[in-house]
Amino acid sequence: MQTPGLKIGTRSSALAMAQAEETRSRLMAAHGLSETEIEIVPMSTAGDRIQDRALSEIGGKGLFTEEIENALLQGRIDIAVHSTKDMPTLLPEGLYLSAYLEREDPRDAFVGRTCARLTDLPQGAIVGSSSLRRQAQIRHIRPDLKVITFRGNVNSRLRKLEEGQVDGTFLAFAGLKRLGLEHVVTELMDIDRFLPAPGQGAITIESRIGDARIDALLKPLNHVETSIRLACERAFLARLDGSCRTPIAGLAQIEGEVLYFSGMILTPDGAVVHQVRMQGALAEARALGEEAADHLKIKAGAEFFTSWS
How many CB atoms are closer than 10 A to CB 14? 16
- Is 86 among the residues known to form the active site? yes
For residue 80, give Cα distances in angstroms to 13, 41, 70.
14, 9, 10
111 membership: H or E segment, kind and range: strand 108-112
Nearest to 83 by CA among 28, 13, 150: 13
Neighbours of 156 (CB within 10 A): 14
Say which DSSP state 221 is in.
G
Q: Which of 48, 52, 78, 86 is catalytic?
A: 86
If one counts every other C-beta atom within 10 angstroms of the C-beta of residue 173, the result is: 23
What is the spatial order of strands in the sheet that 168-172 belongs to?
A: 146-148, 126-128, 168-172, 108-112, 187-188
* Paired residues of 87 in beta bridges: none
In angstroms, the first-to-last Cα distance of the chain is: 49
Q: Rounded to an integer, what distance in angstroms lies between the CA atom of residue 106 and that of residue 41?
A: 27
At residue 235, what are phi and psi to the nearest 5 degrees?
-65, -40
> For the chain, what is the radius of gyration of the CA atoms?
19
Q: How many CB atoms lie within 10 A of CB 207?
A: 22
User: Contact, 236 vs 255, CB < 8 A?
Assistant: no
Closest CA to 151 of 58, 85, 234: 58
User: Active-site residue numbers?
Assistant: 86
